[in-house]
Structure 1
Amino acid sequence: MSAEATSLLRHRPFLAFWLARVCTASGFQMLTVAIGWHMYELTHNVLDLGLVGLVEFLPRVLFMLHTGHVADRYDRRKVAALCQVAQGLVALALVLGASTGSVTREMIFVLAFLLGSARSFEMPTTQALLPNLVPSALFPRAVAASASAMQAATIAAPALGGLLYAFGAFWVYAPTTLLYFMACALSLSLQVRRQNGNQGKASLQSLMAGIHFIRSRPDIFGAISLDLFAVLLGGATALLPVFAKDILLTGPWGLGLLRSAPALGALLMSFWLARFPIERNVGRIMFLAVGIFGVATIAFGLSTSFWLSLGVLVVLGAADMISMVIRGAFVQLETPDEMRGRVSAVNGLFIGASNQLGEFESGLTAHWFGTVPAVVIGGVGTLVVTGAWMKLFPTLAQRDKLH
């Protein structure tokens, strides 16, 4: 990393924030691997894998307007810490269920909803918190460095989760609980600059402010809606247990590696972007990255080689990281601090839709057409959306700088 990027990790508030992100990302990825494999073992139904993603996504819709208001009105450190405690309690419930052999399909759905509820409040809060930790001049690098925390954890945690699951589900859920409580302690230790928050009471006008702000700025709306539809169609994460077990003929350890591969590509790219931030032609580069994501999705769907699939997923993760860093820095820099929570909540809904709702879409299309055709159709859909958005949002495609 450059001297500027390295100095970020020497800055104590940012370092604590970075470590908290490592803990929460590790915990969530380990939970995702274990819950996915656990559900498939219980039901052997690909549709159930998609339903888990849908249930986890539902709270983002139900609570979207309130999550942003909470992030703007209350101490963001405490809100983040409370969300991390709630996720730790979900993991603890799975520990108790696994130790007594009482985990059921219905229990997984209930806990997935609670997990999604906590994450729906945590995401906009942590996104809005980051600009309070670093100067705006370093913010694009901070976004890349923060993303590297998530991706570094996402590389190791799924593989570790898959390995531990071979000894039993309990051995995945127990350390996950500890990780969430460690993240809570780190969040409470943060020292941040003054938060210019919204002190008013919740009202329809206040709650809708984030939506109105995004709709009034076509470039911001185009950037986050591109992620929504491109990744919604192109995501194949929910189907990885099926690919691992039935197509690539591997086990939980192989599933962990498949889940880690996109994170490896994203981590390497985040290191590159922290050292060499994208400063020109940001629009064209973002659209190119989304197009590469679609092509990589198609290649993964057609692959029958475990190692080729891993390589394609690395490329997919690197392309997604480019798009994410550009979009994340752009949206935050264009948003005033007192509205960052509400705007981040809307952005979080789009991100959640592209991930959790995308898992449901993958499970549903796999149920209708088969696993491989579902992934290939999704990749083609991503390419179609990329081309359409370049026409619908020409100023975004031609945008030169982030801010």
Structure 2
Amino acid sequence: MTTKSQDGYRALLGLKQPRRLALACIPADFSDWLDYAAVVALLVYTWGQGPVVLAIFALALTLPYVLVGPILAVFVDRAPLVRVLFITNLGRALATLAFAFTGSPFVLLALVFARGCIDSAFTPARQGALQATTPDHLVGAAQGMHQAINQTSKIAGPAIGGLLLAFWPAQGVFLFNAALSFVAVAIILTLKVPERPEPATPPGTFLKEAMAGLSEFKRSRRLLIALIFSACAYFAFFLYDALIALLAAGFGFNETAYGFSISASGLGGLLGALIAGRLAQSRPMLSMSLAAVIAGSITIAIALAALFGANIPLILFLVVLGFMGGATAFMLVPYRTIVQTETPPDRIARVFASGEAVITCAMLSAPLIGSAIATRFGTGAAFLVGGALVVLLGLVTLASTRRP
């Protein structure tokens, strides 16, 4: 039996290859978000584009994980992981470098989509490398640490990019971001990942190989429950995620307070990832279920306050947003831990990519539904429906995992 000190982040960082993988993922993850503000500034302020182009930009960021990721994962599962990590980061660096030399919004959007396609192969390869280099008892800590790195990049990346725009043109931010990907490439060259065992079954047709990721969810009941839980949870979250500004305005908070609320949500996500990495290793489904019940109940409470016109202090609003952000990470880390422990090494990339595609599809369908609910019944109603769904999801999952 391992001691608490052996199960923590200190033990994980004491291992050379997991430490190098995490170090490489810092610039890699930041490169995903650093130029977000620069792309938006270029589209809106320089080229005068409107909401249609911004909607296409949002699709260019997300659709690669649905359309391309599961296909590229077939090659990721067959190729040496270090080679895939090297090629994908080099490809992202070159795509970002090309951002600086385009003069057309639609060429820029095509490059954003292309970089997303490359990233859709990098992310499953990272999961494969994490599985191959991390001892079983530290998988939860590894998932928590990598989610914390990713969450930090989402918080700080656009903020740093916006700050750089005060001194540099957008093209300068793109060049700086490309350099970050080259840093990740340099670190990956020092990484050593053990060879994966040969697959137990011979390769079939390409379509059969691509579908093997989804087939794995049918093989494992635990894996299937975790995927259904995550997809439903993210659907519920995104019913109201885009409406936080309207909720803040409804309570009488100004733009500055809204900015603080986004920071509180991001900080909650960071802390939730780190805590989940320590707690979710032994009973991940229980962690997910309890987090859903608690977070959903808090969301219902803030929704009822909005619907009945109650006045709440700003500090309480920020705490609630922090809990909501933390709940998201607290459900994602156990899900990825289950994927790691339930999936054979020869198909980890396909299982991970297929799961991400399902979750992303659920996310993409939610904002329009949430907007319709808010338009018809008020902003608080969207939060109420989302919170109720999360509580119900937690209770149903808790009951299903107790069945033999």
TM-score (norm 2): 0.79
Stretch of structure 1 that moved more, 138-147 or 157-166: 157-166
Larger Rg: 2
Task: Determine the C-alpha separation between the residues in 1 that align with 2:161 and 2:338.
Answer: 34
Distance 1:386 1:342, change over 3 A: farther
Aligned to 1:112: 112
Match of 1:187 in 2: 188
Q: Which residue of 1 aligns with 2:58?
A: 53
Answer whether contact 1:18 1:146 (CA < 8 A) is retained. yes
- Match of 1:161? 161
Aligned residues: 387
Distance 2:339 2:378 in 1: 34
Is the alpha carbon distance of 1:161 and 1:367 closer, same or farther for their aligned partners in structure 2, counting shifts above 3 Å? farther
Question: Which residue in the other structure is 2:225 paired with?
Answer: 222
* Cα distance in structure 2, aligned partners of 1:323 and 1:221: 15
Relative to structure 2, which stretch is displaced further, 210-219 or 60-69?
60-69
After TM superposition, the structure 1 = structure 2 runs for residues 373-392 of structure 1, keeping only pairs within 5 Å, are 377=382, 380-381=385-386, 383-384=388-389, 386-388=391-393, 390-391=395-396
CA contact (8 A) 1:263 1:317 kept: yes
| Structure 1, unpaired ranges of 5+ | none
Distance 1:159 1:293, change over 3 A: farther
Secondary structure of the equivalent of 1:279?
A: coil
Aligned counterpart for 1:327 among listed residues 335, 338, 344: 335
Question: 2: distance between equivalents of 1:227 and 1:368?
Answer: 22
Pairing of 1:227-376 with structure 2 (within 5 A): 227-235=230-238, 250=255, 260-277=263-280, 279-280=282-283, 282-294=284-296, 299=302, 310-354=318-362, 357=364, 361-362=366-367, 366=371
* Kept after mapping to 2: 8 A contact 1:140/1:329: yes
Q: How far is 1:343 from its partner? A: 0.9
AA of the residue aligned to 1:187: I
Deviation at 1:20, TM superposition (A): 1.7
SS at the partner of 1:318?
helix
Seq. identity, %:
24
Partner of 1:148: 148
1:208 corresponding residue in structure 2:
211
Greater RCO structure (CA 8 Å; 6+ sep): 1
Greater shift, 376-385 or 227-236, is seen at 376-385
Aligned-residue offset at 1:363: 6.2
Q: For the structure 1 residues 370 and 158, does the alpha-carbon distance in structure 2 shift closer, same or farther, using more than 3 Å as the test?
A: farther
Q: State the shift of 1:346 in Å.
A: 0.9
Contact 2:22 2:146 (C-alpha < 8 Å) held by counterparts: yes
| In structure 2, C-alpha distance between the alignment counterparts of 1:93 and 1:217, rounded to whole Å | 43
- 1:329 is displaced (CA, Å) by 0.8
Give the root-mean-square deviation of aligned CA atoms. 3.9
Bigger mean CA offset, 129-138 vs 52-61: 52-61
1:11 matched to 2:15: yes
2:150 maps to amino acid: M
Q: Deviations over 1:10-59 (max 9, x none)?
A: 222111110122112212122334434554554442x6544433233322
Query: Does the 8 Å contact 2:62/2:360 carry over to 1?
Result: yes
Structure 2 unaligned regions, length at least 5: none
Secondary structure of the structure 2 residue equivalent to 1:110: helix
Structure 1 residues 312 and 96: CA distance shift in structure 2, 3 A: farther
Q: 2:97 aligns with which of 92, 99, 103?
A: 92
Distance 1:6 1:385, change over 3 A: closer
* Secondary structure at 1:177 match in 2: helix
**CA distance in 2 between partners of 1:185 and 1:374 (Å):** 47
Range 24-33 or range 36-45, more displaced: 36-45
> 2-side partners of 1:116 and 1:399: how far apart?
40
Contact 1:124 1:348 in 2 (8 A): no
Alignment of 1:129-140 (within 5 A): 129-140=129-140
Q: Is the 8 A contact 1:65 1:207 kept in 2?
A: yes
Q: Report if aligned partners of 1:148, 1:270 keep a CA contact under 8 Å in 2.
A: yes
Structure 1 pair 79–390 and aligned structure 2 pair: CA distance change class (3 A): same
Task: Decide whether aligned partners of structure 1 residues 219 and 375 sit closer, same or farther in structure 2, where only a CA change above 3 A counts.
Answer: farther
Which deviations, in whole Å up to 9, do the C-alpha atoms of 1:147-187 show, x marking residues without a partner? Answer: 22223333332321232234443353232211112112222
1:23 corresponds to: 27
Deviations along 1:172-207, one digit per CA (max 9) or x if unpaired, are: 323221111211222232111221254736532222
Q: Equivalents in 2 of 1:52, 1:176: separation in Å?
A: 18
Structure 1 distance, partners of 2:129, 2:40, is 31
Task: Please list the CA deviations of residues 325-356 of structure 1 after superposition, one character each: whole Å capped at 9, or x if unmatched.
Answer: 2111112101111121221121221343355x
CA distance in 1 between partners of 2:267 and 2:379 (Å): 24
